[in-house]
Amino acid sequence: MEIKGTGHFVPEKILDNHYFASILDTSDEWITERTGIKERRVCDPDKGEFPSYMAEMAAKRALAAANLEANDIDLILFSITIPDMFFPNTSSVLQARLGMTNQCPCLDISAACSGYLYGLTIANSLIETGTYQNILLIGCEMTSRFNNWEDRNTCILFGDGCGATILGPSTNGPSKMLASQLSSDSSKREALILYAGAAQKPITEEVLKNKEQYVTMDGQQVFKAAVKTLAANCENVLKTAELNHEQIDWFIPHQANLRIIEAVAHRFKFPAEKCIINVQKYANTSSASIPIALDEAIRAGKIQRGQNLLMAAFGAGLTAGAAILKY
Ligand code: ACO
């Protein structure tokens, strides 16, 4: 499998840390020191900015980079936690937005921040068995919809955005997925959870009063589990790929918190120059964070063909994933 093209989209509207300091008991210093985040993007629903809109923009950029037309896509995989609507799935909405007429299958993936790596692993299997030739993989999230804007523990952490990647059989010699590992530790599923708004707990006045329609998180538990699991998964994929840390050209982690990234990078002795980091600009965009970082680094000319990319993610579930891809 190879990456044929990438693209990303983030909304224009920027909320910096000073904005949160003006509405909550927080400060730019606290947020920067604890998370590395300086600003994040948020959709403007009045302008029609929803997940499928961001995905359309990102997908068009990826199609142009891959030199393909929308109807060349034979499968859409769409990682998303809060979709445009419960059904139809957002991948089908995207198919319509792209003007596709080939009736290709459309599948949404719900694995929170790890969803892009879940999608990458599924895509690899489907491509290596010859089932599909041009898979459009989307990682997209409108986190501003699950944010409790009165909760300083969570709302400062997230941002909206979308990354798109087009995957197909290798035409470029060494391009290959060298290893991947996915997991989910459901014993910690309550550490990061959105209780209401679906079948178990529909929206009621009581739910709205208790603000259960928003994300709740045990930050310290998530932090500790993230560092431990990311490090273990990176170790495992390095072993499977029979590579040592020096043979990794780029580390592209899920952009949740700079301290989490630094703790994992330190463990593997990855110097700062080897880590792709943009959490300061976009905050945590959930499953969009790796494909956005990947696209930015490719477009900046940092990532070159033949290099080994290590990607690792972690999110609600608690899901996790790591993969090594020769680009
Ligand atoms: N501004 C000021 N003070 C704050 C803020 C804020 N924005 N948020 C929390 N505090 C306060 C707390 O109330 C607490 O005050 P107290 O001591 O009076 O009770 C104090 O700061 C310390 O809180 P901690 O939770 O101990 O702070 P910590 O250093 O753990 O940082 C943070 C909190 C940033 C949330 C950290 O735990 C973290 O990053 N966890 C991982 C979260 C994460 O990445 N989640 C998403 C990953 S999964 C996914 O991507 C979906």
Interval 178-206: pLDDT, tens: 999 999 999 999 999 999 999 999 999 99
Ligand 1 near 225 CB (within 6 A): no
Give the mean pLDDT of 65-72. 98
For the CA of 154, the nearest atom of ligand 1? 35
Cis peptide before 88 (omega within 30 of 0): yes
b vs e for 280-304, b when ≥16 Cβ sit within 10 Å of the residue's Cβ?
Answer: ebbbbbbbbbbbbbbbbbbeeeebe
Q: Which of 318, 14, 39 shows the shortest CA–CA distance to 190?
A: 318
From residue 149, alpha-carbon distances to 25, 192, 214 in Å are 12, 17, 9
Per the document, the length of the chain is: 327
pTM: 0.96
pLDDT of 166:
98
Q: Are 134 and 152 in contact (CB under 8 A)?
A: no
What is the C-alpha to C-alpha distance for residues 30 and 35, in angstroms, rounded to an integer?
8
For the CA of 220, the nearest atom of ligand 1? 37
Ligand 1, atom 31, lies closest to the CA of 34
pLDDT at 172 over 80: no
Token code pair at residue 266: 């330190």
Ligand 1 near 216 CB (within 6 A): no
- Which residue's entry shows tokens 């310290």? 220
What is the C-alpha to C-alpha distance for residues 37 and 247, in angstroms, rounded to an integer?
29
Strands 161-168 and 2-9, bridge-based pairing? antiparallel
Ligand 1 near 214 CB (within 6 A): no
pLDDT at 174 over 90: no
Does the active-site annotation cover 8? no
Q: Are 196 and 202 in contact (CB under 8 A)?
A: yes
Ligand 1 near 257 CB (within 6 A): yes
